[in-house]
Chain A
Amino acid sequence: SQQGEEDPQALSIQEGENATMNCSYKTSINNLQWYRQNSGRGLVHLILIRSNEREKHSGRLRVTLDTSKKSSSLLITASRAADTASYFCATDHHDYKLSFGAGTTVTVRA
């Protein structure tokens, strides 16, 4: 069943700006992951944060996790046109299956 809800649904920013998107979920998790999907393609794993972690960085990506609020955020700094894609959060609820959010469509304008 779908657990994650993402906000906003769509985001349009200028190249060089930061993009922030949020994900909320309903039940306890083992970990939370963020994936990226280019139009009409499969998903690419970006970053995983475990339930006992609060923040994680990978290149221009920063992910936070607040288990008390059951929410996570993904920040993309210094965005580039190539960052244009849909971004999905996915939660692992201790069963190795992933429940995906509805996604945030990010458009980076050159």
Chain B
Amino acid sequence: GAVVSQHPSRVICKSGTSVKIECRSLDFQATTMFWYRQFPKKSLMLMATSNEGSKATYEQGVEKDKFLINHASLTLSTLTVTSAHPEDSSFYICSANRDRQADIQYFGAGTRLSVL
């Protein structure tokens, strides 16, 4: 199967610090990765689409300077929450397509971010 690894699984940080979350496709090359945010008992909200070698495409209302995305290789995308504040506390999940034509997304296990 297609395995996506997300790290860390949980992070607690102080307000004002930056946090980096990694998303790796372990056994396939992912030209496209997606970053979602999920509030408790709510749906997944797409934040941005990460394309290898090019700039990420952000959804409306998502601050690109706040949520920095880097997709430097075919197996790694990173999301950096800059100057995190308590309202950024959430569950962040990444997913990857095997290739641009694929329909199915493979998800990481998610990262629980708590900003104090």
Chain A residues in the interface with B (C-beta under 8 A): 1-2, 4, 30-31, 33, 35, 40-45, 48, 88, 92, 96-103, 105
Q: Residue on B with the closest CB to A92?
A: B103
The reply to whether the CB of B107 lies closer than 8 angstroms to some CB of chain A is: yes
What residues of A have a CB within 8 angstroms of the CB of B105 in the complex?
43, 45, 98
A38 to chain B, nearest CB (A): 10
Interface residue tally on B, bucketed by range: 20 to 34
Judged by DSSP, the binding face of B is strand
The answer to whether B32 touches A44 (Cβ under 8 A) is no
Partner of A96, one of B43, B60, B103, B109: B103
Query: Which residues of B, 23-74, contact A by the 8 Å Cβ criterion?
Result: 32, 34, 36, 41-46, 49, 60
Q: Residue on B with the closest CB to A45?
A: B104
